Amino acid sequence: MNIILFGPPGAGKGTQAKELIERFNIPQISTGDILRAAIANQTPLGLEAKKLMDAGSLVGDDIVNGLVEERLKEKDTENGFILDGYPRTVEQAKVLDKILEKQEKEIDKVIALVVEDDEILKRITGRRVSKKTGKIYHIIYNPPVDENPEDLIQRDDDTEAVVINRLKNYKAQTAPVLDYYIEKGKVAEIQGERESKYITEEIIDLLENNCNI
């Protein structure tokens, strides 16, 4: 089962991906996580990407397409994968189609999480990530109970000014990707402003009833 988790920053893609990994035993491929790992390892690619990411701009299509193509060659993606944060431009979506075609695969479903801008701003500016466990929290909505406060960090691009820019770029560059997949009849829109567990239930139901798994 090959799926894309789609939606604006802060829609809950990462949170839902973690649930789906457990349920379906397929890996999450988050281009944001791959890029952050490159930054942490101070690779040339990471250093180049960091400036763009810190400003809330997108990293170049060629770079992310190359990362995803390599990742999709790995064996753990054979039975399926969850793309999170990719494709983010129509150009990326077209390249992804070509990458998958070479592997005789295709996207089965695009799960689009719908969340309004004011809610996104609240969510992202309060978001904290554990550098130990990778778990995602919110200082008010989902405060951590068994984490050491020193392990919780705010992403450099989760500040209000940067989020506003990320949202602007989402509307201009990423929202059109949804139309690309709507035309192919692959999109399921899911209301993302609810308690996380209800969203997970709806996604799992939808995938179990619509995909060969």
Q: Does 31 bind ligand AMP (CB under 6 A)?
A: yes
- Centre a 10 Å sphere on the Cβ of residue 180 and count the other Cβ atoms it contains: 18
Considering the complex, what minimum distance in angstroms separates the CB of residue 51 from ligand AMP?
Answer: 10
Site string for ligand AMP, 129-168 (x = CB under 6 A): ----------------------------x--------x--
Q: In terms of CB distance, is 24 or 158 closer to ligand AMP?
A: 158
Task: Give me 65's structure tokens.
Answer: 């397409």
First to last CA, the chain: 6
Considering the complex, what minimum distance in angstroms separates the CB of residue 75 from ligand AMP?
Answer: 23
DSSP assignment of 88-102 equals -SHHHHHHHHHHHHH
Q: Does 53 bind ligand AMP (CB under 6 A)?
A: yes
Task: Enumerate the β-bridge partners of residue 82.
Answer: 3, 28
CB 4 within 8 A of CB 181: yes
DSSP assignment of 130-179 equals ETTT--EEETTTB--SSS-GGGEE--GGGSHHHHHHHHHHIIIIIHHHHH
Rounded to whole angstroms, the Cα distance separating 50 from 153 reads 17
Q: In terms of CB distance, is 35 or 113 closer to ligand AMP?
A: 35
155 is catalytic: yes
Q: Does 120 bind ligand AMP (CB under 6 A)?
A: no
The piece of 17-25, 29-37, 107-115, 142-150 that touches ligand AMP (CB under 6 A) is 29-37
Q: Does 64 bind ligand AMP (CB under 6 A)?
A: yes
Q: Does 6 bind ligand AMP (CB under 6 A)?
A: no
Q: In terms of CB distance, is 57 or 77 closer to ligand AMP?
A: 57
Amino acid at 87: P
Q: Does 59 bind ligand AMP (CB under 6 A)?
A: yes
Considering the complex, what minimum distance in angstroms separates the CB of residue 33 from ligand AMP?
Answer: 7
Q: Measure CA 133 to chain center.
A: 18
The piece of 27-35, 98-106, 111-119, 127-135 that touches ligand AMP (CB under 6 A) is 27-35
Q: Does 123 bind ligand AMP (CB under 6 A)?
A: no
Residue pointed to by tokens 């075609």 = 101
Task: State the DSSP code for 142.
Answer: B
Closest CA to 117 of 170, 157, 153, 195: 170
Catalytically active residues, by annotation = 13, 88, 127, 155, 166
